Amino acid sequence: MSLRRFFLCAVIFTALIGALPLAARAQDGLPGEVTSPTALRTAPSLAGRPLANLQTGDKVTVTGRFRAWFRLTFNGQTGYALADRIRVQGDANRLPDIPPAEALPPTAAPTATPAAVTTATSWFGETVLYSLFVRSFRDSNGDGIGDLRGVIDGLDYLQGLGVNGLWLLPIFASPSYHGYDVTDYQQINPQYGTKDDLLTLIAELKRRGMYLLLDLPVNHTSNQHPFFKDAFGKPTSLFSQFYVWSNAAQTDYLSFNGFRPMPELNFDSRAVRDYVTRMALYWLDPNGDGDPSDGIDGYRLDVAKDVPADYWAELRTAMNKVNPRAVLLGEVWAEGRIIADFLRGDGMNAAFDFPAFNVLAGPNSAPGEGLLNGVGEANVLGLTMRALDAMVAPGSVLARFSHNHDTNRLMSIVRGDVARAKMAAVWLLTAPGVPTVYYGEEIGMAGVKANGPVYYDEYRREPFDWYAAESGPGMTYWFRPGNRNNGPNDGISVEEQQADPDSVLNTYRALLRLRAEHPALRSRQVQIVRDSGPLYVVQRWADDALYIVAINFTRDVQPFWAAVYAAAGGQQYDSARAEVLLSAGYQPESLLPAGYVIVRLPR
């Protein structure tokens, strides 16, 4: 061997040997420093209980990583902190990955629900929620943009449909069309109207026995929010603590999904928590007289899983002093055990059932995917729903949905198959929990996200079609590109479906009428049958009758006998006197593909 080759081999060998201690040290932990105040938590989730407050400059030992979190030790306590708040000395890629089973142990059995949570959900549990994008719903002044007065004008239609709760997508001051980047939480978007318009809407809803939830996006604000504008590039600003900065100059910062117009609020700051709480309480009692009768009935919490769960508990406590009946409905877009960690009985009253949606629509809600298209098995849907029902704290409510403003629309998911869209409506409006109808769903509006560069989710939020020609009093027209999903004279409008008894609109009306007329179809005496073969079967009962809902999600004819499901709640019901309340594709002893039947069996 030449001398040159010998020395080259020696250098390589030395480098390899030298690397081993570094790897070993990474297994034992790497030194780190806190770059922004945050919390040390019991689990890698904002639902984890805070163990300690970490301040800028605190020294920690980082021992592992799980997704966006570091496991670390601080002052003898081991927990998890957000990785973007910690500067690691050394190669963080050498840290061991923590197995999910270790990082997220099984959720503990739910504990008893505080009375205030139960008080709020006592009315919410019987609500049918209508998710409404004000900009697209109805225009009262002819400018083509929906507004609050337009919502008031549309209340007769909504009440006739059979819904009794409205969730308005953001209506606060904002520079964007969607409103999820707020500049002032106490001001109404002037395109939508005024505070007086909102108060008039609230009063009219209460007169009709209806409820109102507002969308509350407080994980982040707009970068045009006065607090952010004051703090950007100005470390001495009084509002510096409101946001999470990535450099000392305060010109780089954390933002929602990396979208810079939406800087994230820093909920490790006491000032931020107090500010958000003040904003939320304001609309519960807008005139501040101590009487919440002029206020809203609660909030839908945007990106709720990115805000610490202990803050939602803090807000719940504050709300109880103003209106204990007000609801906190969380968007916790995550797996079941994370949802359960937020629905633990001390904060949110309710959350959306995203696991069930994922089974129904597939992981990407892409056209042709999921159980709605006959892909997968109905028993997986039942198992998923039962599992989440069992994990959340007693008294909590799960809001179910077939799609929403952030997903492709139902009619696009089922690729225009009207029978499968109606089948989905039967699932939604007979399932346990609170059904959430997305505006336009009831007339079969289509919508698929575009790839830009100008428009994206706008195609999922198109103007509501009141008329066949898309022209007439109240019609909005703020978004009308040539390639939109819904056009004139396409059969998708209230006008075109109003008189057709077999239309999607009248199917929704029939289902909601059944729900209103038969209390068992909205009560908590319900079970999703475990051994129903390829069918999805739900039993709902009262003292006088049992209601059986059977749905065939498959692409084949399936057998069905009501007598098989005639026992529930420890009682036997009379299948010989079965009454079919609503059906499609139902034949004696069988259900066609996408068929369904609702049967009533008396005692």
The two structure tokens encoding residue 576: 């010989």
Q: What is the pLDDT of residue 344?
A: 92
pLDDT over threshold 80, residue 2: no
Between 153-167, 358-372, 401-415, 584-598, the lowest mean confidence (pLDDT) is in: 358-372
Domain boundary among 241, 264, 287: 264
Identify whether residues 415 and 274 lie together within a single domain.
Answer: yes
Catalytic residue among 147, 285, 302, 341: 302
Q: What is the pLDDT of residue 428?
A: 98
Identify whether residues 425 and 391 lie together within a single domain.
Answer: yes
- Cβ-Cβ contacts under 8 Å for 579 (sequence gap 6 or more): 599, 600, 601, 602
Report in angstroms the alpha-carbon separations of 414 from 92, 370, 371, 402. Answer: 44, 9, 10, 11
**DSSP of 480-543, one letter per residue?**
--TT-S--TTSS-SHHHHTT-TTSHHHHHHHHHHHHHH-GGGGSS-EEE-S--TTSEEEEEE-S
In a domain, 202, yes or no: yes
Each residue of 329-383: pLDDT tens digit?
999 999 999 999 999 999 999 999 999 999 999 987 789 999 999 999 999 999 9
Q: What is the pLDDT of residue 36?
A: 84
The two structure tokens encoding residue 91: 């190669």
Identify whether residues 504 and 559 lie together within a single domain.
Answer: no
In a domain, 578, yes or no: yes
Each residue of 489-531: pLDDT tens digit?
999 999 999 999 999 999 999 999 999 999 999 989 999 999 8
Which helix H or strand E contains 276, and what residues bound it? helix 270-282
Q: What is the pLDDT of residue 101?
A: 72
CATH number at residue 43: 2.30.30.40
Domain boundary among 103, 138, 162: 103
pTM: 0.89
Q: What is the pLDDT of residue 92?
A: 87
pLDDT over threshold 80, residue 547: yes
The two structure tokens encoding residue 551: 């749905």
Average pLDDT for 239-267? 96
Which helix H or strand E contains 310, and what residues bound it? helix 309-322
Identify whether residues 248 and 278 lie together within a single domain.
Answer: no
Q: What is the signed CA dihedral for 62, 64, 69, 70, rounded to 10 degrees?
A: -10
Average pLDDT for 182-207? 98
Say whether 331 is catalytic.
yes
Confidence of residue 105 (pLDDT cuts 50, 70, 90): low
Q: What is the pLDDT of residue 418?
A: 98
Q: What is the pLDDT of residue 598?
A: 98
Confidence of residue 156 (pLDDT cuts 50, 70, 90): very high
Query: Whole-number mean pLDDT of the chain?
Result: 92
Average pLDDT for 90-106? 82
Q: What is the signed CA dihedral for 335, 338, 339, 342, rounded to 10 degrees?
A: -170
Identify whether residues 61 and 160 lie together within a single domain.
Answer: no
Task: Give the integer Cα–Cα distance in Å for 18 and 494.
Answer: 73
**DSSP of 37-89, one letter per residue?**
-EEEESSSSTTSPEEEEE-TT-EEEEEEEETTEEEEEETTEEEEEEGGGEEES
Q: What is the pLDDT of residue 84?
A: 87
Q: What is the pLDDT of residue 163?
A: 98
Q: What is the pLDDT of residue 103?
A: 77
Instruction: Select from 302, 360, 395 the least CA-distant residue to 111.
Output: 395
pLDDT over threshold 60, residue 426: yes
Q: What is the pLDDT of residue 67?
A: 82
Average pLDDT for 97-107? 74
Which helix H or strand E contains 429, and what residues bound it? helix 418-430
pLDDT over threshold 50, residue 602: yes
Residue 11 identity (one-letter amino acid): V
Q: What is the pLDDT of residue 365?
A: 79
261 touches 223 (CB < 8 A): yes
Q: Give residue 48's domain range.
A: 17-103
In a domain, 3, yes or no: no
In a domain, 26, yes or no: yes
pLDDT over threshold 60, residue 545: yes
**How many CB atoms lie under 10 A from the CB of residue 472?**
11
| Residues pairing with 485 in the sheet | none
415 touches 375 (CB < 8 A): no
Identify whether residues 400 and 424 lie together within a single domain.
Answer: yes
Confidence of residue 26 (pLDDT cuts 50, 70, 90): low
Task: Give the integer Cα–Cα distance in Å for 579 and 599.
Answer: 6
Each residue of 263-311: pLDDT tens digit?
999 999 999 999 999 999 999 999 999 999 999 999 999 999 999 999 9
CATH number at residue 532: 2.60.40.1180
**How many CB atoms lie under 10 A from the CB of residue 295?**
22
Identify whether residues 405 and 496 lie together within a single domain.
Answer: yes
Burial grade of 518 (CB within 10 A; 0-12, 13-18, 19 or more): middle
In a domain, 1, yes or no: no
368 touches 415 (CB < 8 A): yes
Each residue of 32-90: pLDDT tens digit?
999 988 999 998 888 788 999 999 899 999 999 988 899 999 999 999 999 989 999 99
In a domain, 10, yes or no: no
pLDDT over threshold 90, residue 412: yes
Average pLDDT for 381-395? 95
Instruction: Give me the phi and psi of 156, to 5 degrees please.
Output: -60, -45
Identify whether residues 392 and 246 lie together within a single domain.
Answer: no
Identify whether residues 181 and 308 lie together within a single domain.
Answer: yes
Say whether 302 is catalytic.
yes
**What's the number of domains the chain is made of?**
4
Catalytic residue among 181, 197, 331, 417: 331
Instruction: Give me the phi and psi of 340, to 5 degrees please.
Output: -65, -35
Q: What is the pLDDT of residue 388?
A: 96
Identify whether residues 299 and 181 lie together within a single domain.
Answer: yes
